[in-house]
């Protein structure tokens, strides 16, 4: 009889425990891909730089995150490079709901490497920028970003400015 009472009690309390689940789970990270267009200074050397890449971020504490990305850039008729970045970021509204905006800032280090044979060993650089994710659904957002890669001597630029558009997934 005791087993029957315990079984009935468990069956009756199970539905009461279901609403205790969090309807807004805490996301520990997000991934993204992007397309970008920009220019470098001095811009008369190579006026348009095209870029495509992907990356990801893991959140450490509240909106503070650490991330990495890889991209491919081209300018002029035959100049191309691979770019790797390691960044720290801060998302001001990390848990934004659909149709809300999550602005962010970021900065870090980059390595710019040539793709041509005999093009050199590449060079380190700094990067910084910011943007916003416009969450269209619970797990997908439009990503708008501005990024400056500063000091990449391989490119013969002081700064490379780019505007990026892409998708973010969590």
pLDDT tens for each residue of 44-65: 565 688 999 999 999 998 889 9
Q: How far apart are CA 5 and CA 12, in angstroms?
A: 11
- Tally of domains within the chain: 1
- For the chain, what's the residue count? 170
Report whether the peptide linkage leading into residue 42 is cis, meaning its omega lies within 30 degrees of zero. yes
pLDDT at 113: 81
pLDDT at 98: 86
Is the pLDDT at 16 greater than 70? The verdict is no
Full-prediction pTM beyond 0.75?
A: yes
Q: Is residue 4 part of a domain?
A: no
Short-list 165, 164, 162, CA closest to 49: 162
DSSP E strand boundaries for the chain: 29-41, 49-61, 64-75, 79-91, 101-114, 123-135, 140-150, 159-169
Q: Is residue 71 part of a domain?
A: yes
Q: Is the model more confident about 54 or about 125?
A: 54
Is the pLDDT at 36 greater than 90? The verdict is yes
Q: Is residue 20 part of a domain?
A: no
Q: Is residue 165 part of a domain?
A: yes
Q: Is residue 133 part of a domain?
A: yes
Are 111 and 86 contacting, i.e. CB atoms less than 8 angstroms apart?
no
Q: Is residue 106 part of a domain?
A: yes
Q: Is the model more confident about 82 or about 13?
A: 82
Alpha helical stretches, state H, the chain: 2-17
What CATH number is given to the structural domain containing 104?
2.40.160.20
Q: Is residue 63 part of a domain?
A: yes
Give the residue numbers spanning the domain of 40: 28-169
Q: Is residue 83 part of a domain?
A: yes
pLDDT at 80: 83
């Amino acid at each position: 009889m005791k087993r029957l009472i315990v079984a009935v009690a468990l069956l009756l309390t199970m539905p009461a425990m279901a609403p205790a689940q969090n309807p807004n789970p805490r996301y520990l990270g997000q991934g993204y891909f992007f397309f970008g267009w920009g220019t470098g200074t001095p811009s008369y050397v190579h006026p348009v730089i095209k870029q495509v890449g992907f990356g990801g971020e893991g959140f450490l504490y509240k909106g503070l995150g650490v991330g990495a990305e890889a991209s491919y850039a081209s300018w002029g008729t035959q100049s191309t490079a691979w770019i790797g970045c390691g960044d720290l970021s801060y998302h001001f509204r990390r848990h934004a709901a659909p149709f809300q905006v999550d602005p962010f800032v970021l900065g870090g280090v980059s390595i710019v490497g040539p793709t041509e044979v005999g093009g050199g060993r590449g060079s380190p650089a700094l990067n910084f920028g910011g943007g916003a994710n416009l969450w269209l659904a619970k797990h997908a957002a439009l990503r708008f970003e501005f990024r400056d890669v500063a000091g990449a001597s391989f490119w013969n630029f002081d700064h490379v400015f780019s505007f990026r558009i892409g998708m973010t997934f969590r």
